[in-house]
């Protein structure tokens, strides 16, 4: 017999960690480039299809496939930023429209390359483990563990590496950072690559858990957007708190009531926070 309360918490934390991974890249791009990247969900999709191709079609091991898929998504992101997004830095509306165009194009290319049908990827782990009164599936536990490692690594990177500090400097004040010798263009492409890598990693990790399809990035994109608005655009701690909050609230409402109410509840929470604190829970002052 599973305990309802413990299972709700486990489900919520698992979902929240994945939302956080998605939201982190999204908020990073906004924080540094002041751009809302609506193609973020499609980079999640790119990671998933790369994992499907490497692990599912070519027979590579799962973890090497995930690592390479993350790299593929990073490369996609770097190319997209350099060729398509760079002209729109500081021009939020133009950047949004370009990102919408990129999203539609990437989806269409995926349909052409892989077909429209949902595809399944063999799971690296099967079965579940009981932790006290709750059940945790092993593959989700692995995803949660990878997400935690990625989040910790990312925080350490931001605080303790030259590139991480340079990224924070550009996010705070691009002109001042430039005067200090930090070249904004180089920061943008690297930041975008890291953000894309985070989305691609989430996609590659979730590919065996769900199904893989060209439209699979739409819902994670929506969740990432909600999480980032809640946590504060450009705020990394905010994305973490927001992700877990949304994951837990969805789990509570979906289990005690229904899925539709859970969706409504997420938006009610976000709207309530924005009314009281328009910049989000953990907003950062930035120019």
Residues that bind other proteins (CB under 8 A): 2, 4, 7-8, 11-12, 14-15, 111, 115-120, 123, 126-128, 135, 137, 209-211, 213-216, 218-219, 250-251, 254-256, 258-260, 262-263
Shortest Å, Cβ 170 to other proteins? 35
**Which residue lies nearer to other proteins by CB, 92 or 218?**
218
Shortest Å, Cβ 35 to other proteins? 25
**Which residue lies nearer to other proteins by CB, 19 or 85?**
19
Shortest Å, Cβ 227 to other proteins? 15
Shortest Å, Cβ 86 to other proteins? 31
Shortest Å, Cβ 9 to other proteins? 11
Concatenated DSSP letters of the chain: ---HHHHHHHHHHHHHHHHHHHHHHHHHHHHHH----TTHHHHHHHHHHHHIIIIIIS---HHHHHHHHHHHHHHHHHHHIIIIIGGGTT-HHHHHHHHHHHHHHHHHHHHHHH-SS-B----S---EEEETTEEEEHHHHHHHHHHHHHHHHHHHHHHHSHHHHHHHHHHH-HHHHHHTT--HHHHHHHHHHHHHHHHHHHHHHHTTTS-B-TTTTHHHHHHHHHHHHHH-TT-HHHHHHHHHHHHHHHHHHHHHS-HHHHHHHHHHHHHHHHHH-TT-TT-----
**Which residue lies nearer to other proteins by CB, 259 or 272?**
259
**Which residue lies nearer to other proteins by CB, 7 or 178?**
7
**Which residue lies nearer to other proteins by CB, 20 or 235?**
20
């Amino acid at each position: 017999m599973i305990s309802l309360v413990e299972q709700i918490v486990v489900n919520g934390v698992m979902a929240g960690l994945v939302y956080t991974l998605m939201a982190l890249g999204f908020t990073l791009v906004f924080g540094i480039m002041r751009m809302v990247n609506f193609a973020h969900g499609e980079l999640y999709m790119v990671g998933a299809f790369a994992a499907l191709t490497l692990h599912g079609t070519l027979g590579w091991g799962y973890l090497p496939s995930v690592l390479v898929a993350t790299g593929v998504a990073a490369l996609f992101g770097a190319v997209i930023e350099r060729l398509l997004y760079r002209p729109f830095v500081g021009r939020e509306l133009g950047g949004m429209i370009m990102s919408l165009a990129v999203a539609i194009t990437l989806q269409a290319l995926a349909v052409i390359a892989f077909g429209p049908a949902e595809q399944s990827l063999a799971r690296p782990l099967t079965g579940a483990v009981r932790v006290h009164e709750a059940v945790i599936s092993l593959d989700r536990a692995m995803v949660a563990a990878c997400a935690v490692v990625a989040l910790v690594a990312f925080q350490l990177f931001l605080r303790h590496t030259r590139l991480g500090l340079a990224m924070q400097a550009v996010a705070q004040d691009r002109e001042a950072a430039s005067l200090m010798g930090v070249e904004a263009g180089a920061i943008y492409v690297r930041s975008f690559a890291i953000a894309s890598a985070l989305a691609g990693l989430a996609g590659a990790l979730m590919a065996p858990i769900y199904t893989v399809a060209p439209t699979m990035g739409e819902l994670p994109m929506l969740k990432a957007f909600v999480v980032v608005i809640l946590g504060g655009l450009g705020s990394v701690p905010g994305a973490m708190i927001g992700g877990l909050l949304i994951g837990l609230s969805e789990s509570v409402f979906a289990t005690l009531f229904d899925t539709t109410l859970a969706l409504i509840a997420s938006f009610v929470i976000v709207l309530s926070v924005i009314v009281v604190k328009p910049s989000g829970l953990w907003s950062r002052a930035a120019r």
